[in-house]
A and B are shown apart, each in its own frame.
Chain A
Amino acid sequence: MTTAALPTDRTPRRRDIWRRIGRSWPWYLFILPNVIGFVAFGLLPLLAVLALSFYHWYLFTDPSFIGIRNYVSLAGDVGFQTALRNTAVYAVLTVAPGSIIALGLALIVNQSIRGVTLFRVLFFIPVVTSITVITYLWNWIYTPDETGPLNYLIHLVGIGPQQWLQNPTLALPSLAAFAIWSSAGYTMILWLAGLQTVPMELYEAASVDGAGRLRRFWHITLPVLKPTTIFIVMVGTIGALQMFGPTYLMTGGGPGIATTSAVYWIYQNAFLLFQMGRAAAGTTILFVIILCIALLQRRFLGWTDELY
């Protein structure tokens, strides 16, 4: 009886791997810079944050291992939970409305009309302008008394002055409106790129068959835009969940903690309170949440590799 040699010894396999690497080393050389960059600035910090989340580390003292105590502490931390809730509300307020508004803008600037390039540029200006500059502008727009431009406009329709950033009910929607305005140009460009891939023949054929504008949009444009839609929704959601700039520059997390986002909470804990372990635990939780949402979106929005 003969017995076939089982591949229990891993050495030959390893040799195979090294042989294959040896054969195709130029290809590995091509991807090496990116791999180095990813490992140095992506993977290692990620692992460091994960490790740090199990430590008590007040920046001025030595870190000490405390197991999962940071996570247990965050589970009962009202401030962190509020920050997560604010972040979720902000994502809901910005992603879908922002995408729809940007699609509207893209449909407008996709027309063959005189001066369309000017409008494209105008809509894109906020994207290339410093966030500090545009927050100054919006702080002025949101001036809480009758001298504020927005309050002046609502005064014309008989509504009294509102404290846009000082009122806990209005503050988060006000930040969301600012975010939609400031990112609309970028999202518009993505939609525009998608729109320009729609074959004109489809529209012509549909027109011949008597389809109106709305039906053409619904049955041709939207299906063709599916990959763009998925990209915009996923990237938009991830961006919204990482919201920091508007809070930092416009409200400082207030009034109370009404606009404190998860990332702002992490920033406060890391760089104002110097509690690196807690901040790392918060970061890890946020990372897991974003990962889960992205995976769910990928599944339910019908992502397939054939889309790209």
Chain B
Amino acid sequence: MDRLDKVVETLQNMNIKVDRRRMLQGGMLAGLNLAVLTRLAMAPEAPVEAADNTVTMWAFPLTANDAANLWGPLTKKFTAQNPGLDIKVTLLPWDNRREQMLTAFVSKSTPDTAYLNNDMVIPWSQGHMLVPLDPYFPSAELADFPAGVMSGCHYQGKLMMIPTLIGPHTSIYNKDIFKTIGADPAAPPVTWDDLYKICGLAKKKGYYGFEYTVSDVESFDTILWGAGGHYMNAAGTKSLLDSPEAVAAAEFVVKMFDNKWVPSYGNTLQSVTTLPNYFVAKKEAVSGIYDAASALKATQQMPGSQLGVAPVLKNKTQACFGDIGTLGIFTTTKNADAAGKWLQFMMQPENQAFYNNISGFAPPRGAARKLWKAPTLVRQYADKASYIRADRDTFFYYAQNVTYLGPALQEAILHQKSPRQAMSEAAQGMNTYIAQVNGD
């Protein structure tokens, strides 16, 4: 009697209906399962080891159906122009995209290329995550991009990302509400004082004047920079959140909440997308600080309303956050040249124009701008591109600021701390963090 018979006998003694044949069948099935699972576990993730003639890319949705509207036509055209090469675009959610890419990079499962934002340029270049793109783009071609935008895509003189879209952030305003509250619909607020005036008039008539959400750090950029402040010192080694300008920006925010000029739900760190939109509900005179796509969506949700694009808000200076969407190649790629060809294709004026016709943003390249077809509102947004700031504040620890700034602003709004005290603690938190990062 062999071992298998012993097992069968033991199982039969345990009142389990089994015989030698069934055991063998079960064993074979289990073995097959194990083999399949092992094979699957060893199977490469598509982005990492796709065939050398396939370029993999991670993108994030810009329309309701990017696969059909955007990537389908572009990849088809690329494949026609480059026989033998194929593009596989995977669409992922916007939320936590940096974390997704970082963790994928650490586990060597990043795609060949991806949509990136330029605030990643310094840390990701320092982390040797990105392939320099200079060999793929001659300097004559790069001269067709705005210098300010391009400076935000370089690290130590090397081009690490190539811009594919730009989009300044500013407010839109409801001209109908302006008329109702007795304000001039042709004179949207430019300065903080103008905005205070509009807010006061709006409140008297039962409207909110403005919208501000603490979780939206990009809106705070306009306020902080408008106050003449910075997040970081020039070397990117010290937080300036405790500077008089930053405190003034916090006081501006607190004043908005104290006077109930903005909806109280804005005092939250939760994602803006889960909050009600009072501007669309026609309860606000001036919207939050939006990108063009959000503004366009709002206009579509408010048919019949007279809306206008407001200037970038200023106090001492006029500057705003701007989306600088770029493409980059990860160093984990095995298809750098093929990925480079794809990026060259995407930067061709007609392709960049097409991309931005669909995306709702503006093409950064001058030649593409001439071919670009966009609604008036989006063009009005694009006209504000010169106010986009891409410097030390967006390069150094930009995404980390909100971890300290958000709670500080909330505490100031709730009067648990004065704006000065709250911003001082936020700066202290950032400085401790910077020291920890540097191993001090």
Seen from chain A, the residues whose Cβ lies within 8 Å of a Cβ on chain B are: 23, 25-27, 29, 33, 56, 58-61, 64, 66, 73, 135-136, 139-140, 143-145, 163, 165-168, 249-257, 268, 271-275, 278
CB distance from A26 to the nearest CB of B (A): 5
Instruction: Take A26-B7, A60-B127 as given contacts and tell me if A252 and B271 are in contact as well, using a CB distance cutoff of 8 Å.
Output: yes
Instruction: Take A166-B265, A256-B410 as given contacts and tell me if A268 and B270 are in contact as well, using a CB distance cutoff of 8 Å.
Output: no
Q: Which residue of A lies closest to B410 (CB)?
A: A255
A278 touches B102 (CB 8 A): no
A254 touches B269 (CB 8 A): yes
Interface segment out of the listed B232-240, B303-311, B343-351, B431-439: B431-439
- B70-98 at interface with A (beta carbon < 8 Å): 96
- 1/0 contact string of B398-440 vs chain A (CB within 8 Å): 0110110011001100101000000000000000010011010
Closest 8 CB pairs of A and B: A252-B269, A60-B127, A254-B269, A271-B99, A255-B410, A256-B407, A256-B411, A58-B437
B267 touches A60 (CB 8 A): no
- Majority-rule SS of B interface residues: helix
Q: Which residue of A lies closest to B105 (CB)?
A: A59
A59 touches B106 (CB 8 A): yes
B406 touches A252 (CB 8 A): yes
Q: Is B3 an interface residue (CB 8 A)?
A: yes
Q: A66-B439, A252-B269 are known; give 15 further A-B pairs, CB within 8 A.
A: A26-B4, A59-B106, A73-B436, A139-B275, A143-B276, A166-B265, A166-B267, A166-B268, A249-B270, A253-B269, A254-B269, A255-B269, A272-B399, A272-B400, A274-B102
Contacts of A59 in B (CB 8 A): 102, 106, 127
Identify A145's interface contact among B215, B263, B407, CB under 8 A.
B263
B436 touches A256 (CB 8 A): no
CB distance from B25 to the nearest CB of A (A): 14
CA–CA, A140 to B276, complex, Å? 8
Contacts of A274 in B (CB 8 A): 102, 123, 437
Contacts of B264 in A (CB 8 A): 144-145, 163, 166
A-B residue pairs in contact (CB < 8 Å), sample of 12? A33-B34, A56-B439, A59-B106, A60-B127, A64-B439, A135-B274, A144-B264, A168-B416, A249-B271, A256-B411, A271-B103, A274-B102
B270 touches A252 (CB 8 A): yes
Instruction: Take A166-B268, A275-B437 as given contacts and tell me if A60 and B126 are in contact as well, using a CB distance cutoff of 8 Å.
Output: yes
Q: How many residues of B contact A (CB 8 A)?
A: 42
CA–CA, A252 to B213, complex, Å? 12
CA–CA, A163 to B274, complex, Å? 16
Q: Is B214 an interface residue (CB 8 A)?
A: yes
B127 touches A255 (CB 8 A): no
Instruction: Take A59-B127, A256-B407 as given contacts and tell me if A139 and B270 are in contact as well, using a CB distance cutoff of 8 Å.
Output: yes
A275 touches B274 (CB 8 A): no
